[in-house]
Amino acid sequence: MKKYPFILFDLDGTLTYSHPGIYESLRYALASLGRPDPDESRLRMCVGPPLVYSFSEVFGLSADEVPVAVRKYRERYADVGWRENEPIPGAYEALKTLKGRGYRLALATSKPEIYARRISDAFGFTSFFDALTGSGVDGSLPLKSDVIREALRRLGASEGLSLMVGDRKQDAEGARACGVAFAGLAVGYAEPGELEAEHPDYLFRGFGELLDFLG
């Protein structure tokens, strides 16, 4: 019997390299508010977390400015930003392999579900997922823990039989809040030591190690 028959995957930095579209959409939103062009280190911090967190905590926008920035970001992202993206080498093969081994898979991303589905469709991931879950453009499921709980509900999965795979501390925090085991996958946007500081249940350097572990 599999220890974790249900596997949840983050998207940005776990299955895809999405930073070009995210960076440019962030720049577009900040410029619309008269803010200076941010340096890449701060832009990198915004790949993965919810937009409200990025604009408020990383860029220090006011409560009034944040919804404007989110709207402007999505204005560009919905048009071209989501296309400025590419699959991480090995992601497609890993999903295909796990599906073939009988695992039930879900996408659990803080990205709005409408864009997550477009990206998943574009890269051929969607057929491998039994559930595809993202946040709502209406502000629903604002936290990673909210997304994970909804993904579990759609899968009909129990917390103790599920594993969340992600590349950032928000993935670890969300999994912990839901009582789900967390596997850090060091292929994405985590800063040095970021995943280790979260004391993940497992830490893998690539898809090969993840597949070997899951068997």
Report the C-alpha gap between 129 and 11 in whole angstroms: 12
pLDDT in tens, 73-86: 999 999 999 999 99
Q: Report the CATH number that the domain containing residue 24 is assigned in CATH.
A: 1.10.150.240
**pLDDT on residue 215:** 92
Active-site amino acid positions: 10
What is the pLDDT at residue 54? 95
The pLDDT of residue 150: 98
Residue 46 lies in a domain: yes
Residues of the chain with pLDDT under 50: none
130 shares a domain with 176: yes
The predicted pLDDT at position 49 comes to: 87
Positive or negative, the Cα torsion across 92, 93, 94, 99? positive
pLDDT at residue number 137:
87
User: How high is the pLDDT of residue 50?
Assistant: 87
Q: Which domain holds residue 118?
A: 6-17+86-214
Q: Give this prediction's pTM.
A: 0.91
Do residues 173 and 208 both lie within one domain?
yes
Instruction: Mark out the alpha helices in the chain (DSSP H runs).
Output: 19-32, 40-44, 51-53, 65-79, 91-100, 113-122, 144-155, 169-178, 194-197, 207-214
